[in-house]
Structure 1
Amino acid sequence: MASIAIPPAGTSTRHPEWQYLELMRRIWEDGSERIDRTGVGTRSVAGAMLRFDLDGGAMPLLTTKRVYWKTATREMLWFLTGDTNIRPLVLQGVKIWNEWPHVRYVKETGEDVSLEDFIQRIADDEAFAAEWGDLGPVYGKQWVDWPTYRYRPDGLYEKGPGINQVAEVVESLRTSPGSRRHIIEGWNVAELDRMALPPCHKTYQFHVAGEGENARLNCLLYQRSCDVALGLPFNLWSAALLTRMMAQQTDMEAGELVWMGGDVHLYLNHEHLITEQLTREPQGHPRLEITRKPSSIFDYAIEDFEVHDYAPLGPIKAPVAV
């Protein structure tokens, strides 16, 4: 496989994106080949870490292929609404989650409808979308409405008020920055079987370094399962974006994003993407500008974000494994 020499860690001119390319090459060359849930097959390693400095608006936005950061941003804003139906995404042209409801619809109804026709029905028919566009209690539901239950005097349980983890973390960062409990968790064991896909980027922990005007907000993300070729470029952007939003809301500067992966893999049918991307060199240093400060973490809009100095190489398409 053709590839280019990756500068060693610590090199003064080393672009932060080399970490990603180095991980990709290591998985493809040395990973354990396995049959996975999707049946496609992967090469996989156990455990990986990437670190990105977010100072000055810097973002881990890959330049060796185009990453559609507005799509990833719209998904993050959708998570923060707590919605679990794909229709709001479909109406914005976001296709990230389309395959999962489509597979369920075909399986349960037996109707051999194309993905394109199914998604058009989601867009055109609100009632159809309500029945077939829901993903179950995925990410956003757990983030802003984690279910609780109360024990009643008659010995039965009833549903209690949901927990807004995001709002609670914002408040705890403001009032108790030194806490070690600034955590947003998506892995609700009791509801995994109701989710179209259990959370991959499952645990976010925030850490405050420094005090007052020198306070910097770091984020550690643990991802249990990571599709390095297609998923990780979005995951890195989204985690850094959330960190920048949380930092703005708590009057801090963004510090460092520390990404940790569990089962870190490449799909066998992504070979063309991997081979091409490993011939490319990072270029430029993309920066994110947040153009206003909304009243809360839940009030951002896509128009609030601008990316500067992003001139990536072309996109490389590959199929999503469902």
Structure 2
Amino acid sequence: MIDPEHQYLSLVDAVLSRGDRRVDRTGVGTLALFGALLRFDLSDGRAPILTTKRVYWKTAVKEMLWFLTGDTSIRPLLRQNVRIWSDWPLARYRAETGDPIDQPAFERRILEDDAFAARWGDLGPVYGKQWRRWLGPDGREHDQIAALVTGLRETPASRRLLFHGWNVADLGAMALPPCHMVYQYHVTQDGRLDCLLYQRSCDLFLGAAFNFVGASALLLMLADQAGLRPGELVWVGGDVHLYTNHVDQARAQIARAPRGFPSMRLTRRADSIDGYAIEDFAVSGYDPHPPIQGDVAV
């Protein structure tokens, strides 16, 4: 049987070999392909946590749990030692103040100074805001996640089991518009929950690994809340790219042999979708190759 990680490695190889060289928003430059599809079967307990480099899966799950809170400040993430969102507010602070503060000092101020955190630590109406508090034209807030859980329980055959984050009216106020923007769910007759995730823009070297883990963790939680079994994660990418400063790292990664995805499971059933914590996730059998470092393009 072909290891499912080969889907990802083949996509990386395709971008390296025939990606369109583009000047992107960040100025770093990318090699890009448009349109990709990967399928990962979670029904046997395995989750797509890449093994050809170490993926810090707890960080990805903590990020997903943060999204579910609806919070938009990096402060709760920093309190959990999650620093993957610091680059954007740090870049804004430097640009607007001229202060060449380094990232550790900036993060310390976010943690220690309430006023500073309120002014500089908020990302605007990003993912969690749209998922949990989408503002309608009548001023009412819509909790898409709560509605999805209700739909999974009460109308599992519906074709409207989805949520998304591309709120056109709010895009200009976001530190970063949503990349993984639409999640749609499908319940099979035998009680499996499948997810199709559409990602408009995918940083294939750094971002994709986290997106696979986050979507898998969310699928497990939703299935748990709806009394279903995890099924398949179908990932669809729009602009799938490698930044030019990740090319050597990507080549090193695809030269490695996959070691088989580990298992991921929940250790308990929470009272609600809001009741899960990182301690409720258990991963076993994870034997990755060493990590490969790369800089984030902001």
Same fold (TM over 0.5): yes
Which residue matches 1:178?
157
CA distance in 2, matches of 1:276, 1:285: 19
Instruction: Note the aligned Cα RMSD (angstroms).
Output: 0.8
Per-residue deviation at 1:125?
1.3
Instruction: Quote the Cα distance in structure 2 between the aligned partners of 1:199 and 1:132.
Output: 20
Supply the distance in 2 between the matched residues of 1:108 and 1:205 (Cα, whole angstroms). 38
Q: Which amino acid is 2:83 matched to?
A: K
Partners in 2 of 1:285 and 1:200 — Cα distance? 24
1:137 equivalenced with 2:125 (yes/no): yes
2:267 to 291, 294, 297: 291
* Structure 2 residue 62 is the aligned partner of structure 1 residue 86: no
C-alpha separation in 2, matches of 1:217 and 1:278: 31
Aligned to 2:19: 31
Deviates further, 161-170 or 111-120: 111-120
How many residues matched? Answer: 298
Q: Indicate the structure (1 or 2) with the bigger Cα radius of gyration.
A: 1
Cα distance per residue 1:168-215 (max 9 Å; x no partner):
0000111100100011110000000000000000000000111xxx31
- 1:244 matched to 2:220: yes
Where structure 1 has 5 or more consecutive residues not aligned to the other structure, the ranges are 1-12, 151-159
Deviation at 1:115, TM superposition (A): 1.6
Counterpart in the other structure of 1:168? 147
Q: Identity, % of aligned pairs?
A: 55
Q: For 1:219, which of 182, 195, 200 is the aligned residue? A: 195
Amino acid corresponding to residue 289 of structure 2 in structure 1: L
1:228 Cα deviation after fit: 0.3
Is 1:231 the counterpart of 2:219? The answer is no
Residue 48 of structure 1 pairs with residue 36 of structure 2: yes
Instruction: Give the superposition deviation at 1:240.
Output: 1.1
Displacement of 1:103 after TM fit?
0.6
In terms of mean alpha carbon deviation, does 267-276 or 28-37 score higher?
267-276
TM-score (structure 1 length as normaliser): 0.91
Distance 2:44 2:270 in 1: 20
Q: Deviation per CA, 1:70-123: give whole Å up to 9, x if none.
A: 000110000000000000001111011000000111111111211221111111
Candidates 163, 169, 172, aligned match of 1:190: 169
1:70-149 to 2 correspondence within 5 Å? 70-149=58-137
Q: Distance in 1 between matches of 2:261 and 2:69?
A: 30
> Per the alignment, in what secondary structure is the counterpart of residue 136 of structure 2?
strand
Q: Is the 8 A contact 2:50 2:261 kept in 1?
A: no
Letter in 2 for 1:195: M
- The aligned amino acid for 2:241 is H
Task: Return structure 1 stretches of 4+ with deviation > 6 angstroms.
Answer: none
Instruction: Report the alpha carbon displacement of residue 269 of structure 1 after superposing the two structures with TM.
Output: 0.3
| Alignment equivalent of 2:10, drawn from 17, 22, 30 | 22
Q: Which residue of 228, 231, 244 corresponds with 1:255?
A: 231
Q: In the aligned structure 1, how far is the partner of 2:45 from the partner of 2:224? A: 12
